[in-house]
Structures are given as structure tokens and as C-alpha cells.
Chains A and B, each alone.
Chain A
Amino acid sequence: MSVADREQLRELASLHALGVLSAEERAELAAAMAADPELAAEVRQLEDTTGALGGVVAQVDPPARLRARVLAIAGIDDASAPSPAVVSMTGARGAARPADVAVPVRGRSSALPAWLAAAAALVLASGLGLWALQLRTSLETMNARVDRAEAEVVRIQRTVGEAQEQTRVLQASNAVLFAPDTLRVDLAGEGPAPGSAARAFMSRHSGLVFAANQLPALPADKVYQLWVVPQGANPVPISAGLLAPDASGHASLFFEMPASVPLAAALAVTVEPAGGVPAPTGARVLLGAVPAATAS
């Protein structure tokens, strides 16, 4: 890059910080920034500088009625604000100021010349100005409502997505129940959960449907985890997922049974740290042997 080009980009950076670039010039600067971290850093520093520049002008109190109009955007009725007419004549500060204004405040009323206050009073007296303000506030309130409605649509879409996922699981579970190779596994409670019982239907092709009853409630840092214990001498259990019992101790789960899962000898449920673990570590609460496939 030539020195002249470089200097030109630096000038663009300054103009950008003042907010006067055209869209094309901004695009040019953005492209150059992507290739030149030093330029990008300088742009940010210049932005921060002009960002602060807006705050160093002479400070003037806004009229108290403005607070009520702004809060109306959020649907809050600002009862603490005095009536508009009182404010425009006296410039009194609103009652509801934060505690952090314990700093000396510049002597007031220097900001508004008398003719301006009189003019403001005249506008208010005509009622037109106030009417316009009210319309404006209504418009802002409407805008805010539209935004809320949009957010609501997003929430509904999410709920629909969750419902679709539930439907998918139900359909998959149904497929398990009617698969030709489905086996039934009954699990009995043991250890800390002698009263618990569970039943599972498993198909190597369609998946595993599992439901347990009377599972004791667990502390928040613990969770129940279901394992498929493969056949063989030293089986390595495979996690089939976490169980979240409801208030009555009922929990159900669908596991897709990837093709990589070997033939199962048993199903077991253990108590594990929240979030689950890759291999069982905790107390076993349910165990059931898988009947031989040929037997069914």
C-alpha cells in the first residue's frame, strides 16, 4: 500500500468517527480494516473519542414532563412528574431523581430565555403541542407493542419447535413398540430405591423406550442415568441418557440406539453427578436383564 493510500484511509477513519461517511466510503473503510488491524484499532479509538465528545457539551436539565413520556413507552405511569405547564414555567426538577445526584448542580434557569418560556406557555395554552406530544407517545407505545408482539411470535415458534420434537419422539417410541424385534425388559429397584420399578421396550433397529416409576427425588447436584450393558465378559456400559423424574417419581426416555451399540445383556440405572458421566460411577437403583432375542 502506498503512503498516499494509507494517509487517505486514515482520513476516512477520522471522517467515519464523525459519522459523515457515505455507505460506499464506509464499505471501503471496513474492507481496509479487515486487512489492517492497526487501522481497525485506530478506528475504534477514534469512535470512542467522538463517542465521548457528545457528552462534553453544556449540560441542561430536560423538562420533567419528558420523563413521563419516556416511561409511557414501557407502559409505566410516571405519577411523580409534575404537570407540563408547571415545569415549563419554573423548570423544577422532577421529584424522582436518583440518589447519585449529590453533586453541585449549576445554577438553573440560565438555559431558557424568558421569551422561550413564554412561547412554550403559549403553545401549551393552545393545546396543540400537548396533543401532538400525546399522539407521539401513543405512537411510541404502539411501536413498543409491535416489538413485544414480534418477540411473542419468536417464543411461539420455539414452543412449536418443542412440540414437533415431542411428536417425533412419540412416533419413534411407537415404532419401537411395533417393531418385529422388540424385546421387553423389566427392571427391579435395588439399593437406595427398593420400591422403584421400570419397564423398557427395545429394538435394535427402532430404539429403546423406557419408563420408570417411584424413583426417589434426588438432590440438585445428582441425576439418574440409564445404561445399556452389552453382552460379554467385561462389558462397557453405554449411556442411554439422563432421566428427569416428575414429582410423582415417574420418568420416561427414548433412546435412538445407534447401530454401534452392541447386543445388550442388561439395562441399569445409576445415580450420577448432574449432567451425567461417560461411565457409571454411582449407586445402582434399577437393574433388569435383557431376555435372549431367540427366546422371544
Chain B
Amino acid sequence: MMWLLWAVVRMAPQKDPGDAADLEAVRRMADGDGQALALLYDRHARVTYSLALRILAEPQEAEEVVQDVFSQAWRQAARFDRSRGAVVAWLLMMTRSRAIDRVRARRAMPASSGDPDQAFGLIPDAADGPERVALTSERAARLKEALDTLPLIQRLPIELAFFEGLTHVEVSERLEVPLGTIKTRIRLGLMKMKDAFLGGAS
């Protein structure tokens, strides 16, 4: 479980120096400072590469995804909006989108959600929304535990959607379970994970 400890240590809470350093690096990247890109890469290459590898199961493609993600971060640093969450979450979602696109292309499936950047976190915020939830080490550990302890019938659809890039319709076909049931199971499972993630935060 050492890797989990390590992953968890990496996921700095939003208000700690780690996330402040990320924000500062993104700001400097927007000014064209290449050393800031190096800093961000050194801090998050491992976690993004690991996610890409988990989804693609192919090191060369995982590398390309990470390269694309940091390239996109470099180009779009000026547009990063901190109200949408932590920098590391932004990198992870770009990683997932790009990796899923490749998985689907490999299987000759249509792109899952059109513009990958639209797939997450781009629903316009209502006027004064609540603070985004920070990624603390504690929360990450609870989230991992919640995922591990979900009943398989809830966990499987969630993993197929998140890590394999299947749509809910495809999950339903793959598992031969009615669509309505799949939606309900995904919802129940995610609510447990959300509660674990937020638990004790209020």
C-alpha cells in the first residue's frame, strides 16, 4: 500500500503550499515561463502518467497522453480557472479525457462525449456556488477506501465508465443489465464515494 500513501501525499490540500505552488506555476506558465512547466511536470507527471497507464495499459500511449496533457496545460494556462478546482484535478481530467478518447478510437467506438474538455467541470457555475472541495490526503484515502468497499454491482459500472470510457448505455449492454438499473447503481455508488470524499469536511 506504499503507493497509496505516496499518491495521497501527492494530493495536497487546496490551501497548503503545494496547491499554492501549482497555482503559481500555472500563472507563470501563462506568462510563457518554461521553468514553471518543468515544475508542474515534476510535481504531477507521476500521477497523470499512472492514470493514463491505468486506462490505456500501454506505456507508449500513456506517455503520449501525458505529453499532450502538459502541452495543453502549457497552451491553456492563461485560461485555467481556479474556481473549477485544484490544478491537479484539472490535469487528471485532461488525462482521463485524452486517454479515454484513445481507448475508444482503438476499439473503433465513437468519441464518448464530443469535446473532451467539455466532459467535465465546464457546466457554467451558478452565481455564487460553494467552495470547490479540496483534495486533501485524508479525502483521497477515504475515496480509495470507499471505491474498494463498494458492492461489485455498483463498483463495476463506475469503473467501466471512468476507466474504460464506456457510456452508461454501453455499460448496460456489456453487463447485460437494464439501463435504468445501471443508472441507479452508478448513482448509489457515486453518492457513497462522494459522502466518503466529503465526510467530516463540514
Contacts and interface: CB of A to CB of B under 8 A. Distances in A.
Interface of A: 10-11, 14-23, 26, 29-30, 33-34, 37, 40-41, 43-63, 66-67, 69-71, 73-76, 78, 96-98, 100, 103-107, 111-112, 116, 120, 123, 129, 136-137, 140, 143-144, 147-148
B121 to A, nearest CB: 5
B197 A52 contact: yes
Interface residues of B, number: 89
A103 B6 contact: yes
Contact of A66 (B49, B97, B165): B49
B59 interface: yes
Contacts, number: 246
Contacts of A123: 60
A21 B114 CA distance: 9
B23 interface: no
17 contacts: A18-B186, A19-B119, A30-B124, A33-B123, A33-B126, A49-B194, A54-B162, A56-B143, A57-B163, A62-B45, A63-B59, A69-B63, A73-B70, A120-B60, A129-B60, A140-B67, A144-B71
Nearest to A139: B71
A20 B3 CA distance: 28
A223 B60 CA distance: 61
Contacts of A50: 120, 162, 190
Contact of A19 (B39, B42, B97): B97
B46 A48 contact: no
A51 B66 contact: no
Nearest to B184: A11
Given A66-B63, A98-B42, A140-B71, A20 B112 contact: yes
B143 A53 contact: yes
Nearest to B198: A45
B144 interface: yes
Contacts of A58: 3, 50, 54
A132 B120 CA distance: 31
B162 A14 contact: no
Contacts of B93: 19, 51, 54
Nearest to A97: B42
A10 B194 CA distance: 13
Closest 5 CB pairs of A and B: A74-B34, A54-B92, A51-B89, A62-B49, A48-B133
Given A19-B100, A40-B125, 20 more contacts: A10-B187, A11-B184, A16-B123, A19-B93, A23-B118, A26-B118, A46-B190, A52-B143, A53-B147, A53-B193, A59-B6, A62-B63, A62-B66, A70-B71, A71-B37, A103-B6, A104-B2, A105-B6, A106-B6, A140-B71
Interface in B51-91: 51, 53-54, 59-60, 62-64, 66-68, 70-71, 74-75, 85-86, 88-89
A14 B43 contact: no
B162 A120 contact: no
A146 to B, nearest CB: 9
B105 interface: no
A48 B34 contact: no
Interface string B111-147: 0111000111101111001101101000110011001
Given A103-B5, A129-B60, A73 B71 contact: yes
B114 A23 contact: yes
Contact of B167 (A20, A74, A96, A104): A20
Contacts of A17: 120, 190
B129 to A, nearest CB: 6
Contact of A76 (B35, B100, B167): B35
